[in-house]
Chains A and B, each alone.
Chain A
Amino acid sequence: MSEPDRQRADSGRGAAAAARDELLRAHYDEFRKVAGRVLNGDAAALQIQPTDLAHEAVIRLSGLNRLDFKGRTHFLSLSARVMRQILIDEIRRMRAAKRQAPPVSTQLPPELGAQSIDLEDLDRALSKLEAVAPDHARLVEQRYFAGLTLEEIAEIDGVSVRTVKRQWRAARAWLVSELGQR
């Protein structure tokens, strides 16, 4: 079966290909590498900013250089979830591999109380939010794991900035009280 046929056979019998899917898959390992390297430090405790990973990913993922700005933010938005998963997976892997794995924390932005929080706690909180309000959780991912601004998110999702801002404030308020309860 040739590639066109294979595509037809596997994509709900249509034509053309999953170019973006391909892009994401191609970069999955790069994300992992970026995350892995950050976590491989020998520090007693690690503090990382997920948005740094996103920025670094953009720079390191050579293919993204070819994308224009819009393509870039779009791709980042697409991969926010993947980045979050990878980060958490890598942390878990590191913990499994090292007997004395350091805790991995992140510094929340001032609007979220500027506190230092264990990344896995943040992930748990997000999963909880996801179960209730997936759109809001996705917004946090886009903002916090992909480093996108509210304006960029609005542009990508094709909604007004006002809508995104309202949703962001709801998600943020929920996170503040959720994390405050720990």
Chain B
Amino acid sequence: MDTSLTRRAFAVFENALDIDDDAERESWLVSTCGADDLLFREVKKLLRADAAAERAMPTGGLQPTAGPMPTRIGHYRIVDLLGQGGMGEVFVGARDDGLFDHAVAIKRVRPSLLPETSRALFDRERRVLATLSHRHIAQLYDGGVDETGAPYFIMELVRGAPIDAYAASADLSPRQIVEKMIAICDAVQHAHQNLIVHADLKPANILINEAGDPKVVDFGVARVLRDADDISLHPQTPGYASPQRETGASPTPADDVFALGAILRALLTGDAARRAQHTVLTSEAIARSAAFAARSGEWRSNRARLVQGDLDDIIERACAAAPEDRYQAAVALAADLRAWLETRPIAAHADDRVYVFRKFIRRRRWRVVAVTIGGFGLIIALMLTSTLYAQADFARKQAEARFAEVRNLAKYLLYDVYDRLERTPQTLAMRRDVARVAQGYLNQLADTPSAPSDVLLEAADGFSRIAELQAGRSRASLGDPVGALENLDRADQIAARLQKTDPANTGTLILRARVAIRHAAIAMNSRQELDSATELLAQASRYIAAIPPDTRVAKLLTAQHEMESAILGNWKGAYTESQAHARKGIAVAESLTPDPIDARETQYVLARLYDALAESVYYGVSVPESEPVYARLVEITSSYLASHPDDMLGQRLAIEAHWGLGATLLGLNRPKDGLREMQAAAALMPTLLQYQPEDTGAQRTQRIVHSALAQALAMSGRFDEGVALLREELAKSEELVRQTSSRPEQVRSYGVTLAMLADLYADNNIAKEACPIYAKAEQVWIELDKRGVLTQLDRDNAQKMVRERQAQLKCR
């Protein structure tokens, strides 16, 4: 392909578009292209293609259709019309290639109804559905746009009847109804876990297939939870809509729970749910139900008796007017329904010990009856019942034990497993998995409505811990500051709630302080939000002030707080302030007697404090005075590294310490000493990279260290070695970029390395070599810019720098 031809053809074509008249355009083309016949033909080709495309989509919108039933859609032959609804028609389709007998339901959206928004609605519906795969949810297979421009999607064909019709014709017993409801709850729960609410649950949307399995269909108005779109287009069916939905609020999982309760009620009473009927108990409604009018009085009172009590309570709780009084999740409703099936105590009464006792008596009724009939004395009966009571207590304890299991599992994953993985080379993917699984457990814990406060505090602590794994600087983090912020928010919300009920609880205060400090670190280091970091640190110090000051945890928190305050001072350029914070933090950290439990954390804090102090002295006082501080930093980190050779934290801290001291020495024009430190830093790099090859932070550190080492070599009269080192680095980077799927950060890294090499030449006044390399670097920034991935930071610094130096050297 002749690239310049195409490029020229594009230019001519785009200008030709301005001429509407065909003849005029033709003559303009002829005169513009002149003797260039190839160009003329190329432009004509584009114009023909453009005309075809314009015909297919003249206004960029959808073509309204109101025609007869189509004969085919996509790969499917239309067999039958299944139904018509507000959004369009549903057909039965069959594969028309005859390969296999595969019937599907095809829902075609009627674009004429909503010409502007139909496509967006449809896309959303399809997107939502495609994410759901559950045996009780009708599966989406495929979708597209048909020849008329009408969007369609192809989904599992459910042959069967709506659940209310099915329940009536199959004469389902309450027990059978509850079994079906449990399956439906599972389906809805699955959707909720995927952040999808159905928003229009009703018997008509629950089909029972030929195998007797329920399938929830038509997630057509389902909304992704966080999508704040107006849903007034499609109001929920009255009777199944919660009071909140009636008033037009956005749908939430709690509304689905309400609808599930209403459906259960409708199935038990045989009557469709109606608005404002929920004041009458279901068991009472059975007697008055028109659907059961033909049944005998005995049949009706039997049914009412089965429902009375537990099922009444369950429905009442599911359909509570206030969402916070409802089951917090469909799974909780399902659990109570399961308990009812197994005649176990239900959560609706969980605290009622007498109730638990009564339930156990009923379950073992034959035994109690036998005892009474046998004429044993009262004492024996009491002994027996207390045994039963103990069994009930045991069941409750078992439930608590499962709870504890989840807690322990989350803890085990987050601390033991994760730390062990972190000390094993190349485990980033595994660590990410571990964090994900633990996150799941924690979400479960935090979402359990009955969780006691100590469990909640622990879950919150876990969230804060995950945040540390996601974005903490004391480790090779998962590099996910956004996820980390979310977890911190979550932890703080829980802690804030707990604090309201128990304001002086030290555990809560510690957690809040820790969360605020971590949040501040992310705010300043990842997002440059210095004001919000300042505010967060002020909050943290208020929490710390309320913790008993002589405790170890209070001291450690104080040291951490001073450390972040010092770093913040360096960000702001407030070096005097920064020094004061660092010195205070160092005093506190050094006053702690060593304890293996938090040795790693204290060492980290101490090293960072010295680092911040050194930096504030370097920039705020003088370079020579920073030297002893950097030297002390090297000492601390080296001794930690010596005692913990497998800990990559020590490795990284030592590398950075050597670099800091080395850069200072180079600045003091002591190249030999500087070179020694840079070599020490570079010597530690291979181990770090071997452990964490995927850690972009480690790669970045290597680049920084090698660049400094090259500079040190050049200053020590070993210029060629410096150049060779950077050339080697450059070759590696270039190799990565040459791969077709190079990521923006790899391209960026290539650009930075180019600039470093050019800088080295430029610093040594070799413009002849520097200029072409700068030009190459500039090309990289342009390329990134074209791709739309050049950051403002790089635009303002890296790119600008390259241009300035080119100008200085008079490259052009």
Contacts and interface: CB of A to CB of B under 8 A. Distances in A.
A29 B410 CA distance: 23
Contact of A59 (B226, B659, B787): B226
A22 B523 CA distance: 13
A180 B486 CA distance: 47
Contacts of A15: 797
Contacts of A24: 744, 789
A180 B53 CA distance: 12
B14 A166 contact: yes
Contacts of B787: 81, 138
A78 B123 contact: no
A46 to B, nearest CB: 9
Interface in B327-355: none
A162 to B, nearest CB: 9
Interface string B124-145: 1011001100000000011111
Interface in B689-717: 696, 700-701, 703-704
A82 to B, nearest CB: 7
A119 B564 CA distance: 49
A78 B144 contact: no
A110 B151 CA distance: 11
B744 to A, nearest CB: 7
Contact of B13 (A11, A37, A85, A173): A173
B527 interface: yes
B528 interface: yes
Contact of A17 (B45, B195, B527, B704): B527
Interface in A74-115: 77-78, 80-82, 85, 88-89, 107, 109-114
B149 A177 contact: no
B789 A78 contact: yes
B142 A47 contact: yes
B483 interface: yes
Contact of A111 (B53, B481, B755, B786): B53
B46 A19 contact: no
Contact of B793 (A2, A18, A47): A18
Interface string A3-25: 11110011111111111111111
A131 B6 CA distance: 10
A80 B744 CA distance: 12
A10 B752 contact: yes
Contacts, number: 215
A71 interface: no
A47 B142 CA distance: 7
Contacts of A166: 14, 17
Nearest to B100: A44
Interface string B769-796: 0000000000000000011110111101
Given A3-B567, A9-B704, A78-B789, A173 B527 contact: no
Interface stretch (B241-249, B292-300, B461-469, B798-806): B798-806
Contacts of B50: 169-170, 172-173, 176
Nearest to B120: A55
Contacts of A18: 791, 793-794
Interface residues of B, number: 88
B786 A135 contact: yes
Nearest to A180: B49
Contacts of B801: 12-14
A170 B141 contact: no
Interface stretch (B64-72, B396-404, B583-591, B608-616): B608-616
B393 interface: no
B789 A81 contact: yes
A128 interface: yes
B425 interface: no
A26 B704 contact: no
Contacts of A28: 743
Given A17-B793, A132-B3, A26 B479 contact: yes
A52 interface: yes
A89 B741 contact: yes
Contacts of B798: 11-12, 14
Q: Which 6 A-B pairs have the closest CB atoms?
A: A14-B797, A12-B798, A63-B482, A111-B57, A176-B49, A173-B49
20 contacts: A1-B660, A11-B793, A14-B796, A26-B481, A26-B482, A55-B124, A80-B788, A82-B789, A109-B145, A133-B6, A142-B788, A167-B14, A170-B10, A170-B14, A173-B45, A173-B47, A173-B53, A176-B50, A176-B53, A177-B46
Interface of B: 1, 3, 6-7, 10, 13-14, 17, 45-50, 52-54, 56-57, 60, 123-124, 126-127, 130-131, 141-145, 147, 149, 195, 224, 226-227, 432, 473, 479-483, 485-486, 524-528, 567, 570-571, 608, 611-612, 615, 656, 659-660, 696, 700-701, 703-704, 741, 743-745, 748, 752, 755, 786-789, 791-794, 796-802
Given A12-B801, A81-B744, 13 more contacts: A11-B794, A11-B797, A14-B793, A17-B528, A18-B793, A20-B791, A22-B527, A25-B479, A29-B432, A49-B143, A59-B195, A173-B50, A174-B46
